[in-house]
Structure 1
Amino acid sequence: MSEEFEVPSPHEQHVEHATHHAHGQGDRFASKIAVMTAIMATLGALLSYQAGSTESEAAMDKNNAAIQKTEASNQWNYYQAKSSRQNLSELAAHIPGLDAGHYLAEAERYKNQKEVVRVKAEELEAKAREWDEQSERVLHQHHRWAQAMTAIQIAISLAAITLLTRREWLKKLAYTAAGGSVVLGTLAWLHI
């Protein structure tokens, strides 16, 4: 009969002993860190969602600004075409042998039309500025959410190191980073 013998390494023995010891005596330090890490991970998921959401919103606002700028540019091009036609009509009114009254009336018509186009172009430019400003506000909020997310990730990393080293000062540092994350998230939520 062949029997297999397994000889555990000293590391395996230590891990088994530490695990058995922790579970047997109810390791409150590890339990507290584990619960806090789970809470921080949940908070991190919420912060990540908010950061992504505001980033998308800022991009959409910037896109809307670009659309308005393109429309304004089209209107300014139209305005320039009307100005050119007005100038040509005014020139034609001074050419001998042509109906000056007709061309002066045409020049006046183009002048009136281009005024309407100018007003529309300026309105579109104003809307583009509003979209740009909105995009900047939302992007600032996105940066706050991202800063909060970074702080919570640091807190989670510190909690993991705390669990391994069992250093009380590291636990306090992890909780401080988590608190900083909450402050940054609150600032983002309040649009500050």
Structure 2
Amino acid sequence: MSEDFEVPSPHEHHLEHATEHAQARGDNFAGKIAVMTAIMATIGALLSYQAGSTESEAAMDKNNAAIKKTEASNVWNYYQAKSSRQNLSELATHIPGVDAAHYTAEAERYKTEKEVVRKKAEHLEEEVTAWDEKSEVALHQHHRWAQAMTAIQIGISLAAITLLTRKEWLKKVSYGAAGAAVVLGTLAWFHI
């Protein structure tokens, strides 16, 4: 036959004792800290979600930039091939015994095709730049969310220490850290 019993640690016993006496005296210090900690944890969850979301967005934008960069590189390679063929056609016009008019027409055709390809490659390069810029904006916003998350975690940690030490000044510092988190979160929200 087994009996379940628990032997409380001195720390647990002290916390129970302090809580009972605080409630008996009408001291709601611990209650205020508990409520504030719950609010900070909720804000922290929101900040964490936003930080992860913007990090993913920045990575996707950077991936899109890499895809467009590859497309642009392929188009530039095609441009180089057209240039090489144009050069060979121009060179062939100077070879005795060949149809110079045919190769002159071929050189002109490659020159015209090459311009279309160049414009397409430049357009793709502009898209690369746009995706890179979008990624940088999202990454900056991610850093703001992460800073806010760090500040709220510091606030929660300080609230726990405040509960143990019952220091009023430490409670104010904890609330200040939470306030800093809200300010940083607001800056992230407005992309500042």
TM-score, length-scaled by structure 1: 0.92
Tell me whether 1:47 sits opposite 2:47 in the alignment: yes
Distance in 2, matches of 1:177 and 1:166, equals: 17
Identity across matched positions, percent: 81
Aligned to 1:121: 121
Equivalent residue number for residue 176 of structure 1: 176
Which AA in structure 2 matches 1:138? A
Deviations 1:8-28, CA, capped at 9 Å, x for gaps: 886665444324323444440
The answer to whether the aligner puts 1:97 opposite 2:119 as a matched pair is no
1:165–1:102: structure 2 CA closer, same or farther, 3 Å change rule? same
Q: What residue ranges of structure 1 are gaps of 5+ in the alignment?
A: 1-5
The whole-number CA distance in structure 2 between the counterparts of 1:115 and 1:189 is: 44
* Residue equivalent to 1:186: 186
Question: How far is the alpha carbon of 1:93 from its aligned partner?
Answer: 1.2
CA spacing shift, 1:101–1:47, aligned 2, 3 Å: same
Q: 1: CA distance between counterparts of 2:136 and 2:53?
A: 14
Output the TM-score relative to the length of structure 2: 0.92
User: Cα RMSD (Å) of the superposition?
Assistant: 1.8
What amino acid is the match of 1:152? I
Distance 1:184 1:82 in 2: 53
1:149 Cα offset (Å): 0.3
1:136 counterpart letter in structure 2:
E
Question: Per-residue CA shift, 1:115-168, capped at 9, x if unaligned?
Answer: 000000000000100110111111111110000000000000000000000000
Cα deviation per residue 1:55-97 (whole Å; 9 max; x = unaligned)? 0000111111111111111111000000000001111111111
Which position in structure 2 is the counterpart of 1:58?
Answer: 58
* 1:154 pairs with 2:171: no
Distance (whole Å) between structure 2 residues aligned to residue 51 and residue 137 of structure 1? 13
Distance 1:100 1:19, change over 3 A: same
Aligned to 1:134, what secondary structure does the other structure show?
A: helix
SS in 2 for 1:117: helix
C-alpha distance in 2, partners of 1:42/1:52? Answer: 16
Amino acid at match of 1:108: E
Q: Which amino acid aligns with 1:110?
A: Y
Counterpart CA distance in 2 for 1:104 and 1:160 is 83
